[in-house]
Structure 1
Amino acid sequence: MRKLVAGVDGSDASLAALDWAVAESVRRGAELRIVYAPLWEPYERTWPEFTVARPRGRSVAEHVLVTAADRARERGRGIEVETELLSGDPVPALLREAEKGTVLVVGDRGRGGHDALPLGSVALTVAARAACPVVVVRGEEAARRGEFGRIVLGTGNDGAEPAAVDFAFRAAQARGCKVTAVHSWRSPERGVATHAHTLGGAPDPRMREAEWALGRAVRAAVERHPDVPLERQSPEGLPRDTLLTAAAEADLVVLGARRTPLADATAGAGATGIQLGPVSHGVLHLAPCPVAVVRED
C-alpha cells in the first residue's frame, strides 16, 4: 500500500506539516512515512526549534526523526508510522519519495529559510516537479486544523483538471465538508461605455462561459461523490485574486498543474515536469491555508 509521506527538518513549519499529515493519515486510514534529508546539517547553525539541548549520543537528524515519529504516534493513535533518513539534497530526495507516495506533505519553509520570504525554495520546487500531489502546509492554525469545513477548488480556462477535481472531492468526502469550485472570468470591454455589462444590462457572455466550464469540470466528480456539498462561484476578476478571496475561510486550496517539458537545460533531453503558472505561484506564496498542487497528465 502506498503511503502518505511527510518531509520534516525540525522547523516549526515542518512540524505544522507533520501535524497536517497525521490528521490526513487518520482520515485516510493510511500509513505515514516521515522522511528527512539532512544534507546540509553539518553547515547549519540553527538547532531544531522544538528543543533547546542536543541529546547525548544522537545526531540532530536522528533527533528530528525520533521526535517527529513520537509526535505522530501521539497525535494519530492507531496509524502506522515509519521513518527514514534520506541521502542527498532535499529536493531530489523528496522527489524520489513522491514517486512512491500517495501524497507528499511539506512545510512552507525550512530551518534555513528567511522570514521575509513567503515560501521556501524546497517547497516551491517540490510542488512544481513531484509525481504525486503535493500539499504545502501554510496559513493560520484554524485553516490547518480544518475548522472552516470547506475546500476550495480552482478550475482552469478549459475547465479540465480531472485529477485536481477528484482530489478535492475525495478530500472533502474524507472530511465531511463541502467543495467550493471557483472559475473566474474577465471582460476586456468592462470600461467601454456601450458594453451591455457596463451599462448593467445583459450578463456578460464570459460569465456564462465560466459557469459552463465550471459545470463541465465538476460534473463527473459530482456523480461519483453525490454526498459532497458543492458551491459554485464564477466571480469576475483575476484568477489568483478570486482564489485567495475564497481561501480566506478554507481548509485547503486545490490546484491542477500540467506536465510540460522542462525548460531547465540541466534537466536533460526529454525531461518533463510541472510548469507552475502565475496563478499557482501566487496562491502558493500568499494563501492563508494549505495548498495542494495536483499533477494533470
Structure 2
Amino acid sequence: MVRPLVVGVDGSEAGFLALDWAVDEAARHELPLRLVHASRWERYEDVALGLSLKRPAGEVLADNIVGAAVERAGLHNAAVDVSTQVLGDDPESVLLREADHASAVIVGSRGRGAFTGLLLGSVGLAVAARARCPVIVVRGDKAGLAGRHERVLLGVGDSAEVSEAVGFAFREAAARGCVLDAVRAWRCPAHETTDHPLLAGDPERYHQERASAVLDESLKETAGAYPAVRVRRATVEGPAHKVLTRRSAAADLLVLGARRRDSRLGLQLGRVAHTALHHAECPVAVVPQPA
C-alpha cells in the first residue's frame, strides 16, 4: 500500500507555503497527497446546533480552509492526486495519528494561533519530536523553497544513528537530480592533552580524520545504491548546530536524523534538530531513528 504525504492545512500563509512545497514533493516522488485540517468546532457548538438551522461557523470555516487548499493544490499541479479530511481533534493529535500511515508529514513553520510570532509553532515542534515517520517543517527563503540551490544538505552524526536519515537524503537527492552535501562537524576540546599516542603532535588532525572516517562509513552502503547521486563530503570544525544552520542558506532541504530523548517533559529532540527547526534557512526534514 502506498503511503501518502500528509500536509496539515490551517489557512495560514505558512500553511499555504507548506502546501505548495508538499505538492511539489508529491509530484517528485509520485505519491498521493492527503490534506488534513484539525477542527474541534463540534465540541464548542453542540448547543448552537439545536438552536439554529444555520451551519455552525466552525464547520463553515473548516470547509472553506480545506476548499481553498484543494483549489491551490490543483492550480499548483493538477496531476497530483489529492484527498482531504477534516478531523475533530487538536492539530498535534491529528498529525501524530496521521504519521502512523504516512510517508512523511509536512507542516508550516507557524500556524494561526496566538503564538504565530514564534520561530517555530508548538505543533510543528511537537510533531517533529514524536512522529513515527519523517517530519518536514517548511521554512526558509524563496530560493530554498523553490529548490533553486539544487542541493540537499545532510547532517551526519554518529554512523549508528544516521542510517535512516542517510537513506532519506539520498532518495531526495535522486528525486531532485541534485547534489547531496554530506557534512560531519567535529570539534577539538580545548582541555584535551597530547598525552594519548593518537593525539601526540596534532590533535586537530586526529579529530578531523576521525570525522572523515565516520562520514565515509555512514555513506558508503547507501551511496552504492544511488550511483547517479553526486555526493560532496565535508568535515567542518565547529558546533554541529551552528555549522548546519549556516550551510542551510545554500540548500533546498536539510536532512537530520533524530533519536528522541525521553525526559520528564516528554520526548525531546536533540540540540542540532531543535536549533535547525527554529533557525534553518531552508525546509528541515527530521527523520526518526530506530530505538
- Which category of TM-score, normalised to the shorter sequence, fits these structures? 0.7 to 0.9
Residue of structure 1 in register with 2:186 after alignment = 185
Shift of 1:164: 0.5
Change (3 A) 1:227 1:204: same
- Could you list the per-position Cα deviations for residues 60-117 of structure 1 after superposition, in whole angstroms to 9, with x for gaps in the alignment? 1100001101111121121111000011111011100001110100001101153541
Residue of structure 2 in register with 1:284 after alignment = 277
Residue of structure 2 in register with 1:176 after alignment = 177
> Is the Cα contact below 8 Å between 2:129 and 2:260 reproduced in 1?
no
Change (3 A) 1:2 1:17: same
SS of the residue 1:35 aligns to: strand
Residue of structure 2 in register with 1:52 after alignment = none
> Is the Cα contact below 8 Å between 2:42 and 2:88 reproduced in 1?
no
More helix by share: 2
Q: Distance in 1 between matches of 2:202 and 2:42?
A: 63
Q: Distance in 1 between matches of 2:114 and 2:283?
A: 18
Q: Distance in 1 between matches of 2:85 and 2:147?
A: 28
Shift of 1:165: 0.4
Residue correspondence of structure 1 range 1-297 to structure 2 within 5 A: 1-39=2-40, 59-158=60-159, 160-189=161-190, 204-261=205-262, 263-264=264-265, 275-297=268-290
Shift of 1:201: 6.1
> Is the Cα contact below 8 Å between 1:37 and 1:90 reproduced in 2?
yes
Q: Please tell me the root mean square deviation across aligned C-alpha atoms, in Å.
A: 2.8
Structure 2: gaps (5+ residues): 45-56, 196-200
Shift of 1:204: 2.0
The letter for the 1-side match of 2:268 is Q
> Is the Cα contact below 8 Å between 2:35 and 2:84 reproduced in 1?
yes
Shift of 1:135: 0.3
SS of the residue 2:161 aligns to: coil
> Is the Cα contact below 8 Å between 1:185 and 1:234 reproduced in 2?
yes
Q: Distance in 2 between matches of 1:26 and 1:286?
A: 27
> Is the Cα contact below 8 Å between 1:18 and 1:68 reproduced in 2?
yes
The letter for the 1-side match of 2:148 is E
Shift of 1:159: 5.5
Identity, in percent, stands at 43
> Is the Cα contact below 8 Å between 2:105 and 2:134 reproduced in 1?
yes
Shift of 1:277: 0.6
- Could you list the per-position Cα deviations for residues 9-47 of structure 1 after superposition, in whole angstroms to 9, with x for gaps in the alignment? 00000000000000001111111100000237999xxxx
- TM-score in terms of structure 2 length: 0.87
SS of the residue 1:17 aligns to: helix
- TM-score in terms of structure 1 length: 0.85
Higher mean alpha-carbon deviation, 185-194 vs 161-170, is at 185-194
- Could you list the per-position Cα deviations for residues 206-230 of structure 1 after superposition, in whole angstroms to 9, with x for gaps in the alignment? 1111000011111111101011010
Number of residue-to-residue matches in the alignment: 276
Shift of 1:249: 0.5
Q: Distance in 1 between matches of 2:42 and 2:156?
A: 40
The letter for the 2-side match of 1:221 is T
Structure 1: gaps (5+ residues): 44-55, 195-199, 268-273
Change (3 A) 1:158 1:142: same
Residue of structure 2 in register with 1:271 after alignment = none
SS of the residue 2:227 aligns to: coil
SS of the residue 2:254 aligns to: strand
Q: Distance in 1 between matches of 2:234 and 2:191?
A: 20
SS of the residue 1:212 aligns to: helix
Q: Distance in 2 between matches of 1:40 and 1:154?
A: 41
Q: Distance in 2 between matches of 1:275 and 1:40?
A: 30
SS of the residue 2:186 aligns to: coil
> Is the Cα contact below 8 Å between 1:135 and 1:291 reproduced in 2?
yes
Change (3 A) 1:291 1:71: same
Q: Distance in 2 between matches of 1:57 and 1:224?
A: 49
Shift of 1:259: 4.4
SS of the residue 2:242 aligns to: helix
Q: Distance in 2 between matches of 1:87 and 1:41?
A: 7
